[in-house]
């Protein structure tokens, strides 16, 4: 069985994604310190742990201290793509992205191929979770938001 990194590299090459950079590990330090402002055209947050209990809300990506950095490193006209099997997660992410970071929703709701999410390149799913959910005909949801010029970078958000 090939190593997962080799599989990922081969799959991205087949999909024609030459400018993709993968990172295995805790990417938070890299997101905060190593990526310049306004430099990424596209950021994917695919099937993060939804932390469904109210007392765990602070762990959700859109409420996490890294979120202002995601808005900061996203280039003007760049998109942030969220996917989850939890509708509440996508709905809350939309609210936070729009209200606190000035990101404009382009797509919101059940996941379908569109001009932003690259599902046409990965018809069976972009992640193992997505493949499993789609094979079982489970609902998947997405949010695609766009940075217009300079996004607001709130340092602390509570909802």
For the stretch 114-135, pLDDT in tens is 899 888 888 788 888 889 988 9
The per-residue pLDDT of the chain, averaged, comes to 85
pLDDT on residue 121: 83
157 neighbors 96 (Cβ within 8 angstroms): yes
Residue 96: pLDDT band with limits 50, 70, 90:
very high
Q: Which has more pLDDT, 4 or 42? A: 42
pLDDT on residue 1: 41
How far is Cα 64 from Cα 58, in angstroms, rounded to an integer? 6
Instruction: Please give the DSSP secondary-structure letter assigned to residue 128.
Output: H
Long-range contacts of 16-19 (CB under 8 A, 24+ apart): 16/121, 17/118, 17/121
As a CATH number, domain 36-146 is: 3.40.50.150
Please say if the pLDDT value at position 3 is more than 80.
no
The percentage of the chain sitting over the pLDDT mark of 70, rounded to a whole number, equals: 86
pLDDT on residue 23: 67
Domain ranges of the chain: 36-146
The percentage of the chain sitting over the pLDDT mark of 90, rounded to a whole number, equals: 45
Distances (CA, A) of 157 to 43, 61, 80, 129, 148: 20, 11, 18, 28, 20
Residue 85: pLDDT band with limits 50, 70, 90:
very high
pLDDT on residue 2: 46
Report pTM: 0.80
How far is Cα 10 from Cα 13, in angstroms, rounded to an integer? 5
């Amino acid at each position: 069985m090939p190593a997962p990194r080799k599989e990922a590299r081969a799959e991205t090459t087949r999909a024609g994604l030459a400018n993709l950079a993968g990172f295995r590990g805790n990417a938070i330090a890299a997101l905060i310190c190593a990526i310049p402002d306004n430099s990424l055209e596209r950021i994917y947050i695919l099937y993060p742990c939804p932390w469904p209990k109210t007392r765990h809300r602070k762990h959700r990506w859109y409420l996490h201290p890294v979120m202002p950095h995601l808005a900061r490193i996203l280039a003007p006209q760049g998109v942030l793509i969220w996917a989850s099997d939890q509708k509440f997660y996508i709905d809350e992410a939309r609210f936070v992205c729009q209200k606190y970071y000035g990101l404009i929703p382009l797509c919101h709701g059940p996941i379908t191929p569109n001009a932003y999410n690259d599902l046409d390149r990965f018809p069976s799913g972009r992640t193992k979770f997505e493949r499993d959910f789609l094979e079982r005909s489970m609902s998947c949801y997405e949010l695609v938001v766009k940075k217009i010029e300079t996004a607001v970078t709130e340092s602390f958000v509570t909802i």
